[in-house]
Structure 1
Amino acid sequence: MSREQELAENLRVVRERIQAACVAAGRSEDAVTLVAITKTFPISDVRALAALGVRDLGENREQELKVKAPDCQDVTWHFVGQLQSNKARSVVRNASVVHSVDRSSLVKALSHAAVEEGRVLRCLLQVSLAAFGPAEAATGRSRGGVEPDDVPALAAEVAAADGLELGGVMAVAPLGSDADEAFGGLENVASRLRSEHPGADWISAGMSADLDAAIRRGATHVRLGRALLGTRTPLG
């Protein structure tokens, strides 16, 4: 089986899984967007996915995004990783959506870069779900994100910033958590956000292992890497 055939089969399985999760949740399949995360995979895989009709692609490292995005421009690029403020301009040049806005200094950096580049960047607030993952807290590791109680203030900053558009929220289920419970917490944060900002209706949640729970809890975007592309090669 060629790599193109492998990707096509993986994509078929993933789309069937998304469809089944939507049916189980009483939602339309059209309500959920697949974002293919191509971290550590070659540009040939990016091109193959685009040829198969995948229109949303994501990276979590600025170094990879700035190489891949110019090579494949007829798709929407999403930046999904933790972002240093000094990398904001590069990400603004190459991505249309940033899923990991979690602090005021980053809002300022992205706004400045967007204005300078003449672009409008859609921003999702990364919400910490650490309260739902005591096992993760015990390891001293964190998936990052703004605390739920601090979401309204950060959302107001993004909504008021030039060059930025408030899109909604993003989260990663903590290690060892009940994904349904964790994403239920995110769903509540998203609902409160929409009451203040009706257009901020994206919920980016769910990866290869937990997309079913995320869709059940209202995810509009699922971020899949392993299920589509296989096991990643560690970066050196």
Structure 2
Amino acid sequence: MTLIVFPAIDLKAGQVVRLAEGDMDRATIYGDEPAAQALAFAQAGAGHLHVVDLDGAFAGESRNGEAVRGIVAAFPGHVQLGGGIRTRESVERWFDLGVARVVIGTAALEDPEFVRAAARDYPGGIVVAVDARDGLVATKGWAEVSTTSAADLARRFEDVGVAALLFTDVGRDGMMKGCNVEATVDLARAVDIPVIASGGVKEIGDIHLLAVHAKDGIEGVITGRALYDGRLDLAAALAVAAA
């Protein structure tokens, strides 16, 4: 099993940004041409891309649709999209546009039957976001923290056709503290759904550690700030993951 490296494009008001710990007031702008950034990742060898509509995550509906459409048109590989996808209509719209997978977070906690139905109707297309702050699930753009544990939320979606779980340690996201490999592997071992690691990747060593645990059910890793800050070379990360 080869680890998939997902370069991340987070969108805020049409710009490419990264947040610190999911805080919209702590955004660093990395560019205003999302489609060009997507193409650059493809040229570096990426076959998968992770896109987040940050404004949509807080609003509960798409806010960066034009930028997403541009990214899908420019990127020749698989685009995985999250942020504010909470209705059947929005799921259908993104698949019709050419998105390969949609990521559902808040609705997974608040309306699990909606997620189960979508997973049945779009096999391999639905990813459930398990965003945790101190082990408890965070929702609504990480602005609220529930009383549900990450593992308990994940178990609700076993055997319904969910493609993967996207696990993010909110406290590490965008902070360059290193990925929480231990918590990610624990989740992967607790369920029969592949897990994508996210939050805190800072160097090639994080990619290597996660690749070693691919056998435990780690499907991929999302990296953003480390790429934009030049601490992680995408081509090198892809090579380590493939090896």
TMscore range, shorter length: 0.5 to 0.7
Matches within 5 A, 1:38-53: 38-39=9-10, 40-41=15-16, 42=33, 43-53=35-45
CA contact (8 A) 1:57 1:77 kept: yes
1:201, distance to aligned residue in structure 2 (A)? 2.5
More helix by share: 1
**Does the CA contact (< 8 Å) of 2:48 and 2:79 recur in 1?**
yes
CA gap of 1:129–1:184, structure 2 versus 1, over 3 A, is: farther
Q: Report the AA paired with residue 189 of structure 2.
A: S
TM-score by length of 2: 0.56
Q: Aligned to 2:76, what secondary structure does the other structure show? A: coil
Q: Give the deviation of 1:77 after TM superposition.
A: 0.5
**Match in the other structure for 2:8:** 37
Structure 1 or 2, whichever has the larger Rg, is: 1
Deviation (angstroms), 1:47:
1.9
Give the whole-Å Cα distance in 1 for the aligned partners of 2:71 and 2:116.
18
Give the partner amino acid of 2:162: L
CA deviation map 1:61-105 (0-9, x unaligned)? 143464124413621001143533253223333322234443362
Give the alignment partner of residue 67 of structure 1, picking from 56, 66, 69: 69
TM superposition shift of 1:129: 2.8
Counterpart check, 1:222 vs 2:216: no
Secondary structure of the corresponding residue to residue 126 of structure 1:
strand
8 A contact 2:86–2:104 mirrored in 1: no
In 2, Cα distance between equivalents of 1:153 and 1:145? 15
**Structure 1 vs Structure 2: percent identity of aligned residues?**
9
Aligned to 1:120, what secondary structure does the other structure show? coil
The equivalent position to 1:166 in structure 2, one of 147, 162, 171, is: 162
Instruction: Give the equivalent residue in structure 2 for 1:103.
Output: 109
Please give the secondary structure, in 2, of the residue aligned with 1:38: strand
Distance change >3 Å, CA 193–CA 215, structure 1 → 2: farther
User: Aligned residue for 1:7?
Assistant: none
* Among 171, 175, 178, the residue aligned to 2:171: 175
The structure richer in strand per residue is 2
Query: Which residue number corresponds to residue 83 of structure 2?
Result: 81
1:190 aligns to 2:194 (yes or no) = no
In structure 1, distance between residues paired with 2:72 and 2:44: 19
What is the CA–CA distance in structure 2 between the aligned matches of 1:52 and 1:223, rounded to whole Å? 15
* Contact in 2 for aligned 1:58/1:78 (Cα 8 Å): yes
**Cα deviation per residue 1:28-72 (whole Å; 9 max; x = unaligned)?**
xx7322111123342122223223321111211143464124413
**Where does structure 1 lack aligned partners over 5 or more consecutive residues?**
1-29, 195-199, 232-236
User: Structure 2: 5+ residue runs without aligned partners?
Assistant: 17-32, 54-61, 231-243
User: Per the alignment, do residues 170 and 70 of structure 1 end up closer, same or farther by CA in structure 2, a change over 3 Å counting?
Assistant: closer
The whole-number CA distance in structure 2 between the counterparts of 1:150 and 1:123 is 18
**Per-residue deviation, 1:187:** 1.8
Which of 146, 153, 156 pairs up with 1:154? 156
Alignment match, 1:56: 48
Answer whether contact 2:50 2:81 (CA < 8 A) is retained. yes
Question: What displacement does 1:211 show?
Answer: 7.2
Give the Cα separation in 2 of the matches to 1:181 and 1:58.
17
CA RMSD of aligned residues (A): 4.0
